[in-house]
Amino acid sequence: MKSILIVDDIVDNCDLLQTFLETEGYQTDVANCGAIALEKIAAHSPDLVLLDVMMPGMSGYEVVHQVRQSLKLSVPILLVTGNDQFTMAAGLNVEAENFIRKPIDLDRLLNRIQTLLN
What is d(CA 51, CA 81) in angstroms, rounded to the nearest whole number?
9
What is d(CA 62, CA 28) in angstroms, rounded to the nearest whole number?
22
pTM here is: 0.91
Q: What is the pLDDT of residues 59-86, one digit of tens each?
A: 998 999 899 988 888 899 999 987 665 5
Give the number of domains in the chain.
1
CATH code for position 41: 3.40.50.2300
Predicted pLDDT of residue 88: 46
Work out the pLDDT band at 30, boundaries 50, 70, 90: very high
Range of the domain at 54: 3-117
Mean residue pLDDT across the chain: 89
Question: What DSSP letter does each residue of the chain carry, written as one string?
Answer: --EEEEE-S-HHHHHHHHHHHHHTT-EEEEESSHHHHHHHHHHS--SEEEEES--SSS-HHHHHHIIIIIS-----EEEEE--TT--HHHHHHTT-SEEEESSP-HHHHHHHHHHHH-
pLDDT for 2 beyond 50: yes
pLDDT for 16 beyond 90: yes
Q: What is the rounded (10 degree) CA torsion for 18, 38, 67, 56?
A: 80
Q: What percentage of the chain has pLDDT greater than the value 70? A: 90
